[in-house]
Amino acid sequence: MNILTYKLKFLVLSILLSIPHLLFSQNKQEASCGNITSSKSLAFYESIKPQLKTFESEFLSTNHSKGTVPAKTINSIPVKVYIIRNSDGSGGLSTLDLDETFSNLNAIYNEANLDFFICDGIEYIDDDALCHFKRGDEKSFTDTHYVPGLINMYFTNYIENESKESICGYSDNIGRNDIVVMKNNCATNGSSLPHELGHFFSLLHTHGADNNTQTTELVDGSNCDTDGDGICDTPADPRLSYKVNTSCEYIGNQTDANGDVYTPDTGNIMSYSSKSCRTHFSEQQLARMYAFYMTTKNYLSCPSFNANISVNESETCDNSLTVSFESTCENMTEWQWDINGDNEIDYTTKNPTHTFESGIYDVTLTVSNKSKSIRKKYTNFIKVGTHIDLLDESFEDFNMLEKHGWTSNDVTGHGYHWYSNFGDTQSGETGPLDYLNSENKLNTYIYAEASGAQPGDITEFISPCIDVNYQNSELEFSYHMFGEDVGELHVDIKTDSGYINNVIDPIYGSQQDHQTDDFITKNVNLSSYANETIKVRFRAVRGNGWKGDIAIDNIFVKTIHTPISDNIYKVYPNPIQGDLLYIKNSDIENISTFTITNLVGQPFLSGTVTNSPIDFSSLSSGTYLLTLTNGKTKVVKKIIK
């Protein structure tokens, strides 16, 4: 053989043999994502889907509006930046690289109506030990270098996972942990930081939550909403590690369960494609991140530079409400208020006052100092005259964020929220389990999620305005409180005079013996509120741990239009002379019971009606309500002692 021919053949063979190696090396040398999506996180994302869908629809409809396009509200997200350096102060991410990283980040995330800014400067952590960092050891710096209410972002030289493999970074969005940890050379590659923040805002990898098995999402998209990443405009992805060439082309030939060949998007930021190929999110991914922020992370706020507001009052049952707004940050020089959600600037003063007519209104505040502006949107913030004709809420078609007049209020501001849910809650060993309706389908309910909140936190669930038109009215609701850390459930009623707390005795601790036990029904006497307009407030107080979910369901007001005839019951003497009240019962066929309450429904005495008198000696002088029922109808009488 000619030596030249041999050398040429050897050269061609060497090149051909080297191509797979080059592709493998290219992917092998790139550190992977260190994020782990737990089953707990997946359950949480599933539980808040109804709320997410509302904001996703709003986002997509704005993007697709014809004619005059509504102005987008870009929400400002504060980030506390920590740069880890050597103990002598050398090394670390440069401020130039940091500025370019944030510029690139915002160019991508502005499409999701999100904009990141550095809050209160950069903090440097000079510690050799933290320059080579292991995932799971966050407490070595978060105990001393962490600000609640911000995304705390840490940049270090090297990160490895529990298996000692190099990783680019990871995030933690459970409750209010709010941390992102990044390897320096990954933070500057253009796609890894957007990728990890995608996880922070609830996105999964395009191949799904499991990095070790092939996706079950089908190429034809028929299960796109439940499998893979749960988003339908990202093609099914077989996991792109080692399957993308230097031209960003998919070179795999895998097929799904139907035998269809995958055609993944190699440019999607949430994929495992090469870092340099990843350039964009899909539209539905953008919508999901915006929705997650508005639903779950809207509390993020920089202490020294924010668009936080306070008001004298935000809700009324009347047909008009005058609200005094206040921008609470003192470092601002300009203010722009959109107080009714029409994307028009209504006021430019710091503390405007506005009178609202009946309706539900969004409020957006944009504030500026001499160098920067930030903006924050408050959804369904003002509620005026939100009456409901008949309160009968089973939550089957309920969406927390629709304009129906219900309000969820995180009182203490630590991430303790009410969510609509069906099936189990996201936490094991607490909350309803296998809660089925008469059709053997999972019931929907509202629950206060204990995970991520702090002991003693308070969250409120407040009804629309209810007209109590009849004296013989009751509020009925069902509750489920199972778990070793269950806290408290209180029921309050608001009248024109303000809130009356604890109209029934507070419910403390776990109430069910087993997680599968049914909900317990409770009744609240509304007779003393006849001809008034009220609101009902369910107030949950978080216990000492995460095993403390509190659920409520089937809230409705029932009225007895035909009370028991006075010919059946004779009550005497009234006012009571001495301490004894007699009830003469003419209904000998049915067993009758009685309950003695105060005027706000708090019970004191109860029992079965007999020939013996009711002893009022333990009660102080005053006016009480006597409720008599035979199981079919009831009557309520005012008793004076």
SS (H, E, C) 92-133: CCCHHHHHHHHHHHHHHHHHHCEEEEEEEEEEEEECHHHHEE
**Does residue 330 sit within a domain?**
yes
Question: Within this chain, do residues 426 and 531 fall inside the same structural domain, yes or no?
Answer: yes
Q: What is the pLDDT of residue 400?
A: 56
Question: Within this chain, do residues 541 and 409 fall inside the same structural domain, yes or no?
Answer: yes
Give the 3-state secondary structure of 431-500.
CCCCCECCCCCECEEEEECCCCCCCCCEEEEECCEEEECCCCEEEEEEEEECCCCCCEEEEEEEECCEEE
Whether the CB-CB separation of 82 and 141 falls below 8 Å is answered with yes
**Does residue 636 sit within a domain?**
yes
Q: What is the pLDDT of residue 408?
A: 85
Q: 481-539, pLDDT tens digit by residue?
A: 999 999 999 999 999 888 999 999 999 999 999 998 999 999 898 888 888 899 999 99
Q: What is the pLDDT of residue 17?
A: 44
Counting residues of the chain whose pLDDT is more than 90, the rounded percentage is: 51
* CATH for 611: 2.60.40.3080
Number of domain units in the chain = 4
* CATH for 448: 2.60.120.200
> What's the mean pLDDT when you consider all of the chain?
86
* Residue range 100-115: mean pLDDT, rounded: 96
Element (H, E) at 11: helix 3-28
* CATH for 179: 3.40.390.10
Question: Within this chain, do residues 371 and 484 fall inside the same structural domain, yes or no?
Answer: no
Among 261, 289, 304, residue at a domain's last position: 304
* Residue range 442-449: mean pLDDT, rounded: 84
Chain centre to alpha carbon of residue 414: 12
Question: Within this chain, do residues 363 and 416 fall inside the same structural domain, yes or no?
Answer: no
Whether the CB-CB separation of 345 and 337 falls below 8 Å is answered with yes
Question: Within this chain, do residues 63 and 163 fall inside the same structural domain, yes or no?
Answer: yes
**Does residue 215 sit within a domain?**
no
- For residue 139, which phi and psi values (nearest 5 degrees)? -60, -20
pLDDT bucket at 397, cuts 50 / 70 / 90: low
Is the pLDDT at 190 greater than 70, yes or no?
yes
Question: Within this chain, do residues 583 and 609 fall inside the same structural domain, yes or no?
Answer: yes
Whether the CB-CB separation of 376 and 365 falls below 8 Å is answered with yes
**Does residue 210 sit within a domain?**
no
**Does residue 241 sit within a domain?**
no
The span from the CA of 194 to the CA of 475, in Å, is: 49
**Count of Cβ atoms closer than 10 Å to residue 391 Cβ:** 18
- In 3-state terms the chain splits into helix, strand, coil percentages (rounded to 5) of 15, 35, 50
Question: Within this chain, do residues 135 and 115 fall inside the same structural domain, yes or no?
Answer: yes
Question: Within this chain, do residues 608 and 546 fall inside the same structural domain, yes or no?
Answer: no
pLDDT bucket at 11, cuts 50 / 70 / 90: very low
Count how many Cα atoms sit within 13 Å of the Cα of residue 445 in the half-sphere of its side chain. 29
Which residues, at least 6 apart from 497, have a Cβ–Cβ distance to it below 8 Å? none
Whether the CB-CB separation of 589 and 631 falls below 8 Å is answered with no
pTM of the model: 0.70
The span from the CA of 432 to the CA of 424, in Å, is: 6
Among 356, 385, 414, residue at a domain's last position: 385
User: What residues make up the domain containing 364?
Assistant: 309-385
**Does residue 254 sit within a domain?**
no
Q: What is the pLDDT of residue 566?
A: 57
Helix (H, G, I), strand (E, B), or coil: what is residue 193?
A: helix
Q: 616-636, pLDDT tens digit by residue?
A: 999 988 888 888 888 766 777
* CATH for 362: 2.60.40.10
Q: What is the pLDDT of residue 401?
A: 53
Q: What is the pLDDT of residue 220?
A: 95
pLDDT bucket at 309, cuts 50 / 70 / 90: very high
Question: Within this chain, do residues 491 and 604 fall inside the same structural domain, yes or no?
Answer: no
Whether the CB-CB separation of 108 and 194 falls below 8 Å is answered with yes
**Does residue 247 sit within a domain?**
no
Is the pLDDT at 436 greater than 80, yes or no?
no
Question: Within this chain, do residues 412 and 530 fall inside the same structural domain, yes or no?
Answer: yes
**Does residue 208 sit within a domain?**
no
Is the model more confident about 282 or about 8?
282
Question: Within this chain, do residues 339 and 397 fall inside the same structural domain, yes or no?
Answer: no
Whether the CB-CB separation of 493 and 557 falls below 8 Å is answered with no
Question: Within this chain, do residues 612 and 505 fall inside the same structural domain, yes or no?
Answer: no
Q: Using CA atoms of 585, 588, 590, 591 in order, give the dihedral in degrees to the nearest 10.
A: 60
Among 385, 410, 443, residue at a domain's last position: 385
Whether the CB-CB separation of 484 and 545 falls below 8 Å is answered with yes
